[in-house]
Every structure is written in structure tokens, then in C-alpha cells.
DNA sequence: TTTTAAAAAATTGTATATAATAGGAATAAT
DNA sequence: ATTATTCCTATTATATACAATTTTTTAAAA
């Protein structure tokens, strides 16, 4: 086995189970742990230098998040991400982001509106650098701000969870720089709609944003599958 | 302590952790385990006749579901259900049920449409018996059928989870028989809209249904709070 | 060579043991 | 009487031990 990127970042004050949980989740989302791969307790315990107990507790959480699949008396394996699965997630996410932006229109206060404008500039700045990583994280920041402005904690949690399911594909709609201008325009539209408290316009903008993402991700998946097909 | 309704229903082929998980969840949702109550591992282990390990693993899942709150180095306690919290859940549920019924309009096939009609009659039959329990479960069945007709597994899972959060209040909008005619009419409207594949009409019907539920639940909560206030 | 059976190994499921820590009671000092 | 300190207890956090089950290997028979 190659060298161990799966490294537990110890946080003095976090229970081991949570450290393990985060480590494994990160591993799954980044693709370090591949779909279908078995998660064997003793191996993971040795790799991370802990006992089986925290590993098991972490797996229980991943199970509920849908990131791992339990096979009775066989153990956990990294859940397969199918195209259908991603489409389902995106379908739900579209509805929830739409809800979030509608609520934000109703509930956002002046302070947060200013914050949102700030995030918008951050995105534009990041786009100027052409660094995919910073663009992606600035974009996520912008969206998180909107969702939080909804004032609905449950919604925030769900959207963030659904977002994670697609972590691996987060670069896809950012990669080709043709789309950069489009992203800026989409953000402007969302921001302006919220500022004017125009729910319909805002919802449409949010939908368009997800549609663009979906298209990029689906293109990527089809490309991946063709590569697979060629091998097989 | 009074007698133990919290009884683990053993299923030969289910791991203990899942049995415990279901048992505890049921306990929380039915109010057997009260908000704020501490979940102490040894006690629960003794009560359910298992060791601490399955208890802990079950608690990890409840934690992620938001049904229990972890206090570091102190343990788990049953999460408090606030009015805000319920409103948040209902807000999300409204959006997701609307999405589900829209998708059902697009995707339902003849067979499932027939099934849905069957469920509708079941509800009407249950209403004739005036038994709140059977009405509630027939109603849930009807809605589940719609959600499943969306063909979106993730959506189905989320809606069912959100539904559980409000298990304790599931009778509220069924209790007063004035509303029974209204329920029948709402169901008719949903069914007909789906059959005609009229998304807008269907979505409106679904929203109305949740609105009615929300109103009933909020009335109940306010009543509960007043009782509390009187005591204090 | 293929199939079957038995044994061995690997792995999960469950229970218990040990360590660490927080909360509270008892005691001493002010 | 009040406060501070120490010790004890209850409880969680982690590790290990044991049991049950599945998978793999090996070897024998067809």
C-alpha cells in the first residue's frame, strides 16, 4: 500500500471517535477511500493508532450519513456513488437551495447582506487568481452564507450534508474558465435578488446555478464511465 | 421507576445496536424518554439486557439524527424539541413534500396510481371507524406512496426522517373530527392532480396539507406551554 | 480437473476491563 | 457560616478479550 494520506489530525479536545469520523469522511469524500472498498476495523485501527471502539463508533455515523454501506456480518464498505444517486441528491439539493434563498429573501438583515456582498467579492478575487481551490472554497462560502441567512438550522445542516455527498465533484463546474464569467453573473443575480427581496428571481437564479453544476458533474461522470468501459 | 415500556423487540437477525437504536428512537419519539433526560449507558444496558457497546453505537446514530445531544465527557441526553425546531423541520418538509409530489406527477406509472387510489380508500375507510390510530397510519401510508412515486430514494429517506421528528404530534391534525372531511378532500385533490399530472395543483395541495398540520401542531404546543407556565 | 468437505484464518459482534474525568460530599481552614 | 481543598463516586472514553460467523484455504474424492 502506498503511503498513508489517511492521517488522523489529533485535536486534543475532540473525542477520538470524532477525529476518526472526520478522518474517514474526508478520506471517502476525497476519494482516498474508494467506493466499494471495505473498511476493516483492525486495519483502520492500526493505521490511525487507536483501538477498534472509536473506529466502530465513527462507522455508525458514516452509516447514517449514507457514506458507507453495512453488509451484515461482513462489515462496512464505502458506499458506491451511482449516477442515479447523484441525480437524486442534486434534485433534493435544488429544492432545498431554492427554499433557502427564498427564506433568505424574507429574513436577511442588513449586516448579513453586507457579509454576503463581501463573500461575492471574495469569489471574484479568487477567480482572478485562477486557482481552482480558492474559487471553490469562496463559492462554497458564498452559498453557505445564503443558506445560513435562511435562519433555519435544520435546512443548513441538510444542505451542508448534501453538499458533502458531492465533494468529489466540487471542482467540475469551476474547472473550465469559460464558466467563470457565468459564475460571477449568477452570484450577482442571486445577491441582487436577495437585496431586492425578490423571491421568484432569487429562486430562479439558485436553480440555474445548480443546473449548471449538475450538467458539469454529469459530463464528468459520463467521461469517467467511458474510461472505465474502455478498460473493461 | 415505573414499569418498563422501553422494551427491546428482539429481531433474531438484526444486530443489537440496531435493535437498541430503534428502541431508543421509539422511546424518544413517543415521549417515553423525555427531552433533557440523560441517557446513561449502564442504566440503559441493564434495562435492555445488553452490554454498553451496542448502546453507545446506537447513541452515535441518534446523535447524527439530532435526536440526542452530546455533552462532552458527560454523555448523551434527549434533545430538546423547541417550537423553533419544529417550525424549521416543517419548513423543510413542506419543500420536500412539494418536490416529491411534483416528481410523482412526472414519473408515476399506472400501477402505482392504482395503488395510491387504494390507499386513498383505506384512509376514507379508517375515517369512518373514527379510530385515530388507524386514520394516522393510513394517512402516513398514503403520503409515503406519493413520496416513493417520486422515484428519488434520497428524498424518500429524508422525508421519512423528518416525519419521525414529529411523530409525537402525528395525531394532532387528525384528532378533531371537523377536519376529517377536509383531509378526505385534500387527498382527493392530491390524487386527482397527480392523475392529471398537474404539478402546480398538486404542489398547492401538498402545501395546504402541511399548512394544516403545522397549524394543528403549533396550537398543541402553545397549549402545552401554557400548561407548563401555569405549573411554574 | 472439478467438486465437496473440513479445518483454519480473518473479521465482525458483543462483553468486559482499565483509564480518565467530572461532579459532589466531606473536611479543614478562614 | 463560608470558602477552599481533598477525596470519593459515578460516568464516560478507550482498549482489550471473547464469541460467533463468514470466508478462504487445503485436501480428499469423484
Is position B4 within any domain?
A: no
Is position B3 within any domain?
A: no
Last residue of a domain, one of B41, B57, B78: B78
C-alpha cell at A211: 443546473
C-alpha cell at A201: 428571481
- Nucleotide nearest B40, CA–C1', reads D11
Residues with CB under 7 A from strand C: A 38-43, 52-53, 56, 70, 72-76; B 15-17, 50-54, 73-74
Instruction: Indicate yes or no: strand D within 7 A of the C-beta of B13.
Output: no
Contact A165, A66 (CB under 8 A): yes
* pLDDT attached to residue B226: 83
Which residue in A49, A54, A52, A47 sits closest to A27, CA to CA? A47
Same domain as A191, residue A127 = yes
Same domain as A225, residue A154 = yes
- What does B104-120 look like in DSSP terms, one character per residue? HHHH--HHHHHHHHHHH
Give me the domain span that covers residue A40. 16-78
Same domain as A65, residue A146 = no
CB neighbourhood size of B154 (10 A): 21
Whether B92 and A158 lie within 8 Å, measured CB to CB: yes
Residues B97 and A137: their CA atoms lie apart, in Å, by: 31
Q: Which residue stretches of B79-198 are H helix?
A: 83-107, 110-129, 132-149, 153-165, 172-175, 178-195
Residues B166 and B92: their CA atoms lie apart, in Å, by: 13
Smallest CA–CA distance, residue A133 to chain B, in Å, is 28
Is position B1 within any domain?
A: no
C-alpha cell at B221: 404546543
> Is residue B106 within 8 angstroms of chain A, CB to CB?
no
Contact A79, A66 (CB under 8 A): yes
Please report, for the domain that includes residue B111, its CATH number: 1.20.120.530
Give the start-end residues of each E strand in chain A: 38-39, 68-71, 75-78
Which residue in A123, A126, A124, A117 sits closest to A139, CA to CA? A123
Residues A114 and A112: their CA atoms lie apart, in Å, by: 5
> Is residue B17 within 8 angstroms of chain A, CB to CB?
yes
Is position B123 within any domain?
A: yes
Taking all residues of chain A, what is their mean pLDDT, rounded to a whole number? Answer: 91
Is position B11 within any domain?
A: no
Please report, for the domain that includes residue A32, its CATH number: 1.10.10.10
Same domain as B196, residue B95 = yes
Ordered per-residue pLDDT tens for chain B, 232 residues:
434 566 666 666 789 999 999 999 999 988 899 999 999 999 999 999 999 999 999 999 999 888 999 998 899 999 988 899 999 999 999 999 999 999 999 999 999 999 999 999 999 999 999 999 999 999 999 999 999 999 999 999 999 989 988 888 888 888 888 889 999 999 999 999 999 999 999 999 999 999 999 999 998 888 887 876 664 4
Same domain as B182, residue B128 = yes
C-alpha cell at A144: 453557505
* pLDDT attached to residue B4: 56
- At A146-190, the pLDDT tens digits run 999 999 999 999 999 899 888 888 888 888 888 899 999 999 999
Residues A156 and B172: their CA atoms lie apart, in Å, by: 27
- What does A130-194 look like in DSSP terms, one character per residue? T-HHHHHHHHHHHHHHHHHHTT-HHHHHHHHHHHHHTGGGTTHHHHSTHHHHHHHHHHHHHHHHH
Tell me, yes or no, if the pTM score tops 0.85.
yes
Is position B7 within any domain?
A: no
Residues B57 and B106: their CA atoms lie apart, in Å, by: 40
Which DSSP letter does residue A72 get?
Answer: T
Same domain as B226, residue B131 = yes
Is position A11 within any domain?
A: no
Last residue of a domain, one of A28, A54, A78: A78
Last residue of a domain, one of A78, A100, A115: A78
Which window residues (65-104, chain A) lie with Cβ within 7 Å of strand D?
73-74
Number of domains in chain B: 2
Same domain as B215, residue B112 = yes
Whether pLDDT at A5 is above 70? no
Residue A170, φ and ψ in degrees, nearest 5: -65, -20
Same domain as A119, residue A68 = no
Counting every residue written for chain A, the total comes to 232
Whether A91 and B98 lie within 8 Å, measured CB to CB: no
- At A64-74, the pLDDT tens digits run 888 999 998 89
Whether pLDDT at A3 is above 50? no
C-alpha cell at B169: 404530534
C-alpha cell at B37: 433526560
> Is residue A71 within 8 angstroms of chain B, CB to CB?
no
Same domain as B87, residue B48 = no
Residues A202 and A196: their CA atoms lie apart, in Å, by: 9
Whether pLDDT at A28 is above 80? yes
Characterize the bridge pairing of strands A75-78 and A68-71: antiparallel
Same domain as B134, residue B166 = yes
Same domain as B153, residue B55 = no
Same domain as B161, residue B67 = no
Is position A5 within any domain?
A: no
Amino acid at each position: 500500500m502506498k503511503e498513508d494520506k489517511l492521517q488522523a489530525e489529533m485535536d486534543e479536545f475532540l473525542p477520538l471517535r470524532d477525529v476518526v469520523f472526520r478522518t474517514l469522511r474526508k478520506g471517502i469524500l476525497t476519494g482516498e477511500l474508494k467506493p466499494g472498498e471495505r473498511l476493516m476495523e483492525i486495519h483502520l485501527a492500526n493505521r490511525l493508532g487507536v483501538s477498534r471502539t472509536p473506529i466502530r463508533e465513527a462507522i455508525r455515523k458514516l452509516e447514517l450519513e449514507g457514506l458507507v454501506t453495512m453488509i451484515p456480518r461482513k462489515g462496512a464498505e464505502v458506499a458506491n456513488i451511482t449516477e442515479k444517486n447523484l441525480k437524486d441528491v442534486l434534485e433534493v439539493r435544488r429544492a432545498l437551495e431554492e427554499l433557502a434563498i427564498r427564506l433568505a429573501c424574507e429574513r436577511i438583515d442588513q449586516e448579513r447582506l453586507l457579509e454576503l456582498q463581501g463573500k461575492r467579492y471574495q469569489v471574484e478575487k479568487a477567480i482572478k487568481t485562477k486557482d481552482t481551490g480558492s474559487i471553490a472554497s469562496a463559492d462554497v462560502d458564498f452559498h453557505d452564507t445564503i443558506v445560513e441567512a435562511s435562519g433555519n438550522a435544520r435546512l443548513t445542516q441538510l444542505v451542508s450534508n448534501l453538499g458533502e455527498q458531492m465533494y468529489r465533484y466540487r471542482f467540475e463546474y469551476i474547472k473550465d474558465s469559460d464558466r467563470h464569467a457565468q459564475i460571477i453573473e449568477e452570484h450577482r443575480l442571486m445577491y441582487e435578488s436577495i437585496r431586492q427581496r425578490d423571491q421568484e428571481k432569487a429562486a430562479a437564479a439558485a436553480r440555474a446555478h445548480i443546473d449548471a453544476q449538475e450538467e458539469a458533474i454529469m459530463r464528468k461522470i459520463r467521461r469517467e464511465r467511458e474510461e472505465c468501459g474502455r478498460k473493461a
